[in-house]
Chains A and B, each alone.
Chain A
Amino acid sequence: METNKKSTTILADFVPFLVTFKKSWYLSIIVLSIIILFGFYAFIVQLVDGHIVTGMRDNVVWGVYIINFIFFLGLSYAGALISCIFHLGRVSWGKPLIRMLEIMAVASLIVGPIYIILCIGRVDRLFNLFIHARIQSPITWDVIAIFTDMVFCIAYLYMTHIKDFSKLRDWEDERIKPWRRKLYTVLSIGYQDTPQQKKQLNSALDIMAAIIIPTSIIAYSLLAWLFGMNLRPGWHSSILAPYFVLTAVYSGVCLLIIVMWVYRKSRYLKNYITNQHFNYLGFVMVMFALFYGYFTFSDYITEWYNSVKVNTSLLDKLFSFEGYAWMFIISIVTAAILPLIVIAVPRFRSINSITITAFFVLIGLWFRRYLLIVPPLETPYIPIQNSNLEWVNYSATWVEWTLTAAGIAFIILVYMLMSKLAPIIPISEIEERSKKIRVFYKGTKE
């Protein structure tokens, strides 16, 4: 009975947020839609004129599109991974964050593959990936992995919503309009919170979470092997897959901090997203910063030490100020050093400083992906000898930047819409004391 009372108060906190729409909300929706429409325009320009409108050329065949693809899929896998770890490990402080992470997982999983479509020369033949699929190709592995992950993540996102939908359906409040109530009725698929239903849904959630954790790690490793299978300096390395997974989870933590900061602006959520969250995640960030520094160092030290020519010429590009040294320094200083300073010194440690750090880390990790993709493509075994500089060095064009902005706008848009559909905090996860998973506590025989 007491839990029921508590639940009513939590939902009472959220309903006003769900049903009121401010002018600023509409305005942001319009601005984001315009950015996305502008992205569509850029896409049409690319379709009509061909890929010549991008900065990609015969040497650097992959550019900002693939970088965004890696970046957004990394966020997606990280969101799925962290939320499932929170759920499965029954991490009580992490529960309010599960939905934010799940939305991150699904929104960026929709955006990521779009960049692959943009990068493909013949969008009209995309179906060839299915009718002529060759299992030997890492792209086919990736297609399978992304589709699998997409099914799991969308299913999991929906399943975590079911209890909240049923609560909203039963909620007595005249501000919830009839069409909305109807929508909740449909979406809650007859969930009545009977003990039987509860048990089924809970175990289904546990199973899904247990499946998604390895799936996301495998899927992101497969993405790394898209590059690792190529005979290129900087790519053909065994550390690539673990490195990818690490940077992915790292970037996911950073985006989570930023999302938390944004939602914390709303007064309904101050009680649920506390200083403690920022504190915990700040330390998680430190841990990842250390790992990131370690992985980066061990990746380059092995390539540098033996001075194989093609590796050396790649490192020369990364370390020269005519090449990528500035970007390299940014990617190291922001992602490997900045969190250590901000978190280690108590005076610097605040919600705002942690969020700003997370933002810079996110940018640093994007640059990290840039350095992973573009310089190796500019460093083939046979050094490029081309009179046209445009064909030697890559620089992205307005088409690519516009579509990047459109992708970011889409993710923000999804967050805005989803947080109006259901509370951004999973109410049922918080109010129910979830049962411990038996196998964890009684699994081992004496």
Chain B
Amino acid sequence: MNSKEKDKSRRNFLRKGFAIGAGTIAGMGALSTFAGNEEKKSGEKVKLLTADGKLVEVDKTDIDCKTADCLPTHGKAARKGIPGRKFVMVIDLSKCANARKCIDACQHGHDLLPSQEWIPVHLMKNNSISDPYWFPKPCYHCDNPPCVKVCPVGATFKRTDNAVLIDSDRCIGCKFCISACPYSARRFNWENRDSYSDNDSDYSPETSLPGQHGVASKCDFCPDRSREGKLPYCAKSCPMGAIYFGDSNEDAITNGEETLRLRETLETKAGYRFMENLGTDPNVYYLPPVDRMFPYKRGLKNLSEEQLKAYENILSKTDK
């Protein structure tokens, strides 16, 4: 079970007529109005005009967009991208405390194994003096993606909305993209699992569901959730609000609580892209870990012995 299926069962409204207001609200113009409150009834009522002229009042969370724009696309259409969108992500490193909620939510939403982290959190240390910091690393959805370049069958592709997606129905599993990605963002479905299914008609590169064995997989920027006006799993679940997601055409990013101007944020807060020198032109920006809300050690508290071992390369160089 994933939350998408749960959402489906709640799509009981607006079957008969299409509300005039729904289009504009659900049309993702204002990401912030939706973010963070789709799980429970908000209690907030919205007045809508139905097609036959009646004014109805519905709970805000019951509004589900039913136009073609709101459903994940399949096949060839999925290679095009959502018109007019340019998705970007901004991760504020000063806020990340390695709560690992983004990893959990992403794994839950995308039916991943514990070993498959689409947004692993690394512990980084820039030099011997500066303090270590936590560094969530999704796929960067590069404008010049090395993975797309090397794919022999065009199973991975760049869309107009900035997302780099994988067509699991076409992927032959040669793993070239995994070795070509300089950021190690890609994973492989090594095992056969019961939840996997080949050539499923529900499958869309936008949802990456259901998975398939023997193919590459990675962070997909959750364009299906954007279609519904929701934030990606990671951005939505981060308790610190470290992950902002938005659209560079709109010049707006949000973490669900606050909405910022993208350009202004990057300008004033010294936003940077990881390893800019590689020329891959990522669409994920970082805000440097300055004026941190928490010491990095707080991120070590909830980790098991096993997980701590992973960060040994940094921890051995710092006094614990």
Give the interface of A toward B (CB within 8 A).
Answer: 48-52, 56-59, 61-62, 116, 119-122, 125-126, 128-129, 132-134, 136-140, 143, 226, 229-232, 377, 380-388, 391
Can you identify 19 A-B contacts, CB atoms within 8 angstroms?
A50-B192, A50-B214, A52-B191, A57-B190, A58-B115, A58-B186, A119-B174, A120-B173, A121-B171, A121-B216, A122-B172, A133-B153, A138-B150, A139-B174, A230-B180, A380-B184, A381-B182, A385-B120, A385-B310
CA distance A58 to B188 in the complex (A): 6
Q: Beyond A121-B215, A229-B150, is A385–B175 a contact (Cβ under 8 Å)?
A: no
Q: Which of B115, B122, B152, B304 contacts A137 (CB 8 A)?
A: B152
Determine the chain A residues whose CB is within 8 A of the CB of B116 once the complex forms. 58
Determine the chain B residues whose CB is within 8 A of the CB of A377 once the complex forms. 179
CA distance A382 to B275 in the complex (A): 10
Q: Beyond A128-B153, A136-B149, A377-B179, is A382–B174 a contact (Cβ under 8 Å)?
A: no
Q: Is the CB of B153 within 8 A of A129?
A: yes
Q: Is the CB of A380 within 8 A of B182?
A: yes
Determine the chain B residues whose CB is within 8 A of the CB of A49 once the complex forms. 191-192
Q: Is the CB of A137 within 8 A of B176?
A: yes
Determine the chain A residues whose CB is within 8 A of the CB of B192 once the complex forms. 48-50
Chain B interface extent, by class? 35 or more
Q: Is the CB of B310 within 8 A of A132?
A: no
Q: Is the CB of B306 within 8 A of A387?
A: yes
Determine the chain A residues whose CB is within 8 A of the CB of B153 once the complex forms. 125, 128-129, 132-134
Q: A120-B174, A121-B171, A121-B214 are in contact. List 6 more A-B contacts (CB 8 A).
A: A122-B173, A122-B214, A126-B172, A134-B153, A231-B146, A387-B307
The winner among A56, A121, A140 for most chain B CB atoms within 10 A is: A121
Q: Is the CB of A231 within 8 A of B188?
A: no
CA distance A137 to B179 in the complex (A): 13
A230 CB → nearest B CB, Å = 5
Q: Beyond A134-B153, A139-B150, A143-B152, is A61–B115 a contact (Cβ under 8 Å)?
A: no
B212 CB → nearest A CB, Å = 8
Q: Is the CB of B152 within 8 A of A62?
A: no
Q: Is the CB of A387 within 8 A of B310?
A: yes
Quick check: is B313 within 8 A (CB to CB) of the other chain?
yes
CA distance A143 to B170 in the complex (A): 18
Q: Which of A120, A232, A385 contacts B179 (CB 8 A)?
A: A232
Q: Which of B172, B179, B183 contacts A382 (CB 8 A)?
A: B183
Q: Beyond A140-B152, A231-B180, is A52–B215 a contact (Cβ under 8 Å)?
A: no
CA distance A387 to B313 in the complex (A): 11
Give the interface of B toward A (CB within 8 A).
Answer: 115-116, 120, 122-123, 137, 146, 149-155, 170-176, 178-180, 182-184, 186-192, 213-216, 275, 278, 304, 306-311, 313-314
Q: Is the CB of B171 within 8 A of A134?
A: no
- Of chain A, the residue at the smallest CB distance from B214 is A121
A190 CB → nearest B CB, Å = 42
Q: Beyond A128-B170, A139-B150, A385-B311, is A52–B176 a contact (Cβ under 8 Å)?
A: no
Determine the chain A residues whose CB is within 8 A of the CB of B123 once the complex forms. 385
Q: Is the CB of A137 within 8 A of B151?
A: yes
Q: Is the CB of B173 within 8 A of A121?
A: yes
Q: Is the CB of B172 within 8 A of A385?
A: no
CA distance A59 to B183 in the complex (A): 11
Q: Is the CB of B180 within 8 A of A134?
A: no
A226 CB → nearest B CB, Å = 8
Q: Is the CB of B154 within 8 A of A50?
A: no
Q: Is the CB of B187 within 8 A of A58?
A: yes
Q: Beyond A122-B215, A139-B150, is A385–B306 a contact (Cβ under 8 Å)?
A: no
CA distance A139 to B150 in the complex (A): 7
Q: Which of A143, A232, A386 contacts B310 (CB 8 A)?
A: A386
The winner among A48, A125, A388 for most chain B CB atoms within 10 A is: A125
- Of chain A, the residue at the smallest CB distance from B278 is A231
- Of chain A, the residue at the smallest CB distance from B305 is A387
CA distance A139 to B151 in the complex (A): 8
Q: Is the CB of A132 within 8 A of B215?
A: no
Determine the chain B residues whose CB is within 8 A of the CB of A386 once the complex forms. 310
Q: Which of B115, B120, B172, B304 contacts A121 (CB 8 A)?
A: B172
Q: Is the CB of B149 within 8 A of A61?
A: no
Q: Which of A51, A226, A231, A391 contacts B182 (CB 8 A)?
A: A231
CA distance A58 to B172 in the complex (A): 16
B32 CB → nearest A CB, Å = 32
- Of chain B, the residue at the smallest CB distance from A380 is B184
Q: Which of B172, B175, B190 contacts A62 (CB 8 A)?
A: B175
Q: Is the CB of B175 within 8 A of A137?
A: no
Determine the chain A residues whose CB is within 8 A of the CB of B310 once the complex forms. 385-387
- Of chain B, the residue at the smallest CB distance from A373 is B179
- Of chain B, the residue at the smallest CB distance from A57 is B190
CA distance A229 to B306 in the complex (A): 35
B126 CB → nearest A CB, Å = 11
Determine the chain B residues whose CB is within 8 A of the CB of A388 once the complex forms. 115, 306
Q: Is the CB of B122 within 8 A of A121?
A: no
Determine the chain B residues whose CB is within 8 A of the CB of A140 once the complex forms. 152
CA distance A5 to B268 in the complex (A): 93
